[in-house]
């Protein structure tokens, strides 16, 4: 009987990055530093090594020697900054490290005076073998042949001869090891998407509110894309680089909602933009490929997109697969909806919320026809300059639909990004990310205590980072948490600080900077909700009167732009404090990845109790900061410009009413920096 063995002579197992389900591949974004890992071992005591081999989409091959993750673990790791978009392929080669084994044994025995000449001869014979390998560069072969001759020279000074065990010529074996035994892992795939898929600062606003004016008779003149352009300067000044627009399509009249989600709209109530489908300027019905006539024309929209781009801002458009009763789909494709026994079409519900103005789509009766229509709509908006879609409630649609749609679109337009508004169960949220969504809303808005945040942020950085990219929105038109309702300006400051520094992508909904915190009674959403009415805001007046967080949001986004460590997800490390309300974490990016030649390390300390002053000691793990034990170092508060001298233990005082958080830049002292270099 013939057996097909699964194990190689040098087994390689446990490859990461990897997904919980092997049907899908892990992903990263351009410029992301990805930790690769593998378990490599063999029988006995001879040393093994591991080599990571990556092939970029361009065909370029990268080789990285992997390092042990800890004595006795058999785990090997290497970090690589991926600089090309597209599909990378990679594998790990495990090998018996003959040079490493000899160097280890030689150091022990020579220093002990045991088998000294024998150890030198064994090393020389290994080098003879390596020098004969034709695939090695000629210069390297000459260098190791010369080293072999010196190892055999008994006339050398003993100390000089002993130093040959660590000779620089042995660096040749870093990427071209000498081995007789090897094993390759299976080839793996890693999708690298454009940087905006993983890094961005989002700002959500309703164009109809920008420039809206109330007439003396109580009716409204809607804001338009032309008036909304004026808001772009303020958004750019705050450093946001993505503007997200709720649906811009015609709004249904049937069952239209009034103010605060009431069922009795007034004659001037504009309705919810998510009730898509309604009359155009000529009275005919328009749907997902049309623009609400109050907002302007398609040409006006394209101009808005161009104006945003001129300010370094991308426009994200809402993709909400649902229809008002007045949508053309209802008449033309009744098979796309669920008809109840009484002949009515089922409307949307999210108990206790009811959406009588919205019909959810049924994906089962004509899946091909519906897929073709949605694909057409996405292509239509791509043609208008849209490269980012925020998808409304994707968890209420089939997973297979999204996998097919995103794969089809990205096959033609790989730079298109889909954000999942997936406030749902973890299994579905994560499956949507695995199946193709580039970004995901998360449970961040409901994680407010120190303990909750530590667990949540570590989970994002470690457990799901191979496939799920969080977008830490601090609020939405639907979500105004009790923390913001009752926490005052401190709560807004703390939430913005954490969102902007803990993940590479974050976002705010317009009004956050004005501390809008009054909720509709019994609800978790703002009263006089902008979903159902015009809401013009005087941002300039609020700033002049000191009632705005805009300046602080701009500082946070400037810090993000200046510090590459904040452009990474996986590098978050939680530290301890003695206070149950003081959250401490750091983000470090090593010098080899920053582009500046220096480490970039930040420490965030936040008082998550917005009603108190907290004084405590924080306890820092210096190795996570790239510093040797016992280091002292300078920290600069990047908001206030203050400086302090810190060590592993440091005192902090955070006053919720004046300065509830620190964003600190670590500046090693000269002596400590040199020690760190030597330590590394």
Catalytic residue positions? 392, 421
Task: Return the sign of the alpha-carbon dihedral for residues 587, 473, 426, 449.
Answer: positive
Say whether 587 counts as a known binding-site residue: no
Cα–Cα distance between 536 and 270 in angstroms, integer?
14
Say whether 322 counts as a known binding-site residue: yes
Q: Are 52 and 64 in contact (CB under 8 A)?
A: yes
Record the tokens describing residue 659, joined without a space: 């300065």
Contacts of 130 (CB under 8 A, 6+ apart): 99, 136, 141, 144, 172, 173, 178
Q: Which helix (H) or strand (E) holds 644?
A: strand 643-646
Say whether 397 counts as a known binding-site residue: no
Q: Are 48 and 101 in contact (CB under 8 A)?
A: no
Q: Are 202 and 473 in contact (CB under 8 A)?
A: yes
Cα–Cα distance between 616 and 644 in angstroms, integer?
15
Say whether 393 counts as a known binding-site residue: yes
Instruction: Name 605's bridge partners.
Output: 584, 662
Nearest to 658 by CA among 466, 441, 488: 488
DSSP 568-598: -STTEEEEEESSTTEEEEEEEE-HHHHSSSS
Q: Which residue has the tokens 């907002």?
A: 295
Q: What one-character DSSP code corresponds to residue 459? A: I
Q: Which residue has the tokens 């001037």?
A: 268
Contacts of 633 (CB under 8 A, 6+ apart): 625, 627, 645, 646, 647, 666, 667, 668, 669, 672
Say whether 109 counts as a known binding-site residue: no
- Binding-site residue ranges: 257, 322, 357, 393, 531-532
- Binding-site residue ranges for alpha-maltose 1-phosphate: 257, 322, 357, 393, 531-532
């Amino acid at each position: 009987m013939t057996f097909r063995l699964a194990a190689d002579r040098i087994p390689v197992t446990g490859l990461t990055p990897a997904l919980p389900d092997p049907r899908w591949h892990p992903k990263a974004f351009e410029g992301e530093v990805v930790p690769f890992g593998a378990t490599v071992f063999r029988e006995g005591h001879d040393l093994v090594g591991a080599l990571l081999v990556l092939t970029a989409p361009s065909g370029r091959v990268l080789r990285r020697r992997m390092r042990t993750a800890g004595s006795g673990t058999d785990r090997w790791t290497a970090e690589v900054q991926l600089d090309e978009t597209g599909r990378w392929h990679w594998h790990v080669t495990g090998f018996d490290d003959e040079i490493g084994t000899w160097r280890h044994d030689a150091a022990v025995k020579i220093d002990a005076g045991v088998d000294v000449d024998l150890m030198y001869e064994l090393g020389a014979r290994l080098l003879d073998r390596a020098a004969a390998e034709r695939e090695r560069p000629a210069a390297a072969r000459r260098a190791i042949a010369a080293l072999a001759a010196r190892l055999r020279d008994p006339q050398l000074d003993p100390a000089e001869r002993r130093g040959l065990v660590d000779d620089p010529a042995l660096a040749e074996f870093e990427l071209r090891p000498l081995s007789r035994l090897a094993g390759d892992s299976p080839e793996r795939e890693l999708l690298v998407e454009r940087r905006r898929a993983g890094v961005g600062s989002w700002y959500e606003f309703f164009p109809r509110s920008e420039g809206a004016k109330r007439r003396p008779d109580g009716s409204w003149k809607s804001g338009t894309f032309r008036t909304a352009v004026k808001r772009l300067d303020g958004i750019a000044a705050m450093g946001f680089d993505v503007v997200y627009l709720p649906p811009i399509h015609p709004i249904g009249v049937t069952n239209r909602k009034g103010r605060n989600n009431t069922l009795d709209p007034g004659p001037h109530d504009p309705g919810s933009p998510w009730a898509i489908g309604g009359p155009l300027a000529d009275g005919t019905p328009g749907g997902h490929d049309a623009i609400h006539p109050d907002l302007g024309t398609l040409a006006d929209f394209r101009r808005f997109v161009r104006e945003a781009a001129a300010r370094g801002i991308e426009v994200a458009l809402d993709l909400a697969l649902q229809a008002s009763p007045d949508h053309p789909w209802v008449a033309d494709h009744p098979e796309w909806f669920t008809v109840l026994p009484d002949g009515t079409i089922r409307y949307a519900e999210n108990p206790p919320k009811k959406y009588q103005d919205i019909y959810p789509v049924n994906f089962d009766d004509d899946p091909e026809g519906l897929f073709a229509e949605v694909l057409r709509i996405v292509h239509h908006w791509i043609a208008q300059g849209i490269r980012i879609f925020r998808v409304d409630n994707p968890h209420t649609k089939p997973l297979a639909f999204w996998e097919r749609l995103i794969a089809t679109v990205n096959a033609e337009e790989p730079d298109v990004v889909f954000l999942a508004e997936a406030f749902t169960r973890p299994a579905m949220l994560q499956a949507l990310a695995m199946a193709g969504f580039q970004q995901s809303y998360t449970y961040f808005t409901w994680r407010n205590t120190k303990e909750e945040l530590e667990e949540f942020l570590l989970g994002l950085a470690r457990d799901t980072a191979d496939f799920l990219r969080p977008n830490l929105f601090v609020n939405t038109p639907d979500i105004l948490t009790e923390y913001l309702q009752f926490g005052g300006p401190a709560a807004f400051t703390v939430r913005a600080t954490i969102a902007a520094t803990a993940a590479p992508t974050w976002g705010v909904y317009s009004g956050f900077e004005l501390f809008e915190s009054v909720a509709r009674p019994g609800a978790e959403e703002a009263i006089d909700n902008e979903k159902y009415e015009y809401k013009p805001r005087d941002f300039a007046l609020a700033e002049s009167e000191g009632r705005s967080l805009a300046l602080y949001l701009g500082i946070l986004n400037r810090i993000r732009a200046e510090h590459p460590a904040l452009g990474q997800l996986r590098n978050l490390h939680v530290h301890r404090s003695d206070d149950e309300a003081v959250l401490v974490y750091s983000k470090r990016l090593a010098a080899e990845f920053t582009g500046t030649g220096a480490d970039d390390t930040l420490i965030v300390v936040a008082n998550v109790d917005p009603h108190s002053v907290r004084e405590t000691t924080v306890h820092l793990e210096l190795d996570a900061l790239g510093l040797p034990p016992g280091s002292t170092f300078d920290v600069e508060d990047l908001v206030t410009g203050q400086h302090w001298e810190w060590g592993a233990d440091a005192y902090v005082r955070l006053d919720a009413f004046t300065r509830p958080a620190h964003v600190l830049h670590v500046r090693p002292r000269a002596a400590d920096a040199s020690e760190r270099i030597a330590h590394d």
